[in-house]
Chains A and B, each alone.
Chain A
Amino acid sequence: DTAVSQTPKYLVTQMGNDKSIKCEQNLGHDTMYWYKQDSKKFLKIMFSYNNKELIINETVPNRFSPKSPDKAHLNLHINSLELGDSAVYFCASSYSNSPLHFGNGTRLTVT
């Protein structure tokens, strides 16, 4: 199936831990994104990569570090998790100016 797939779907962890979320797209898109959706459903862009280069880096704590080993993958590593990091994290991809295709999301719960 052609899609944007991210893993894991659910992630429950304790404060202070480090965790990673992986994202892969097989749509041939050149741009990938991470969005955070909070409990009020606000969707905020965190990062964007175009052909493995970081092009958008919003005001996000340094504990969040994206990595794009190739243009089909964009992973998100989070250090020293905090309660406020609990949210749904969506990966998405697109051609440069085209609409976004979203993954199914990773629901992160920090206890």
Chain B
Amino acid sequence: GQQVMQIPQYQHVQEGEDFTTYCNSSTTLSNIQWYKQRPGGHPVFLIQLVKSGEVKKQKRLTFQFGEAKKNSSLHITATQTTDVGTYFCAGQEGGATNKLIFGTGTLLAVQP
């Protein structure tokens, strides 16, 4: 079945450093979504990318969808302590169920 892998599993940065997490799907996706889960919290939707090669920005966050619609990345510029949490990509298959498969997640720790 479809698998969505993320690297790295864990990243520890100093506040002010940049951070990137990469997401790879075993199959072509209709769209990809990104979620953030704070420690002890629930996943919260950040953004959805639909078009091949799409790039979207939210303040210090930059999201990219690959040309082949099988990979994606999230880049955070100048991390802050409020960025701490686990970042999940989630790939949506096409078809009748439009199942959303979550990636393995990247835990970001930011040291002040």
Bin the interface of chain B by size: 20 to 34
In the complex the two chains form, is A99's CB within 8 Å of B43's CB? no
Whether A97 touches B92, Cβ cut-off 8 Å, given contacts A43-B43, A90-B42, is yes
Counting contact residues on chain A (CB < 8 A from B), the size range is 10 to 19
Pick the most buried of A41, A56, A96: most chain B CB atoms within 10 A of its CB.
A41
- Bitwise interface map of B from 76 to 112 toward A, beta carbon under 8 Å scored 1, else 0: 0000000000101010100011111110110100000
Known A-B contacts A41-B86, A41-B107, A43-B43; A100 and B100 likewise in contact (beta carbons under 8 Å): yes
Known: A41-B86, A97-B92. 16 other contacts (CB 8 A): A41-B37, A41-B107, A42-B102, A42-B104, A43-B88, A43-B102, A48-B97, A56-B99, A96-B98, A99-B48, A100-B33, A100-B43, A100-B45, A101-B45, A102-B42, A102-B43
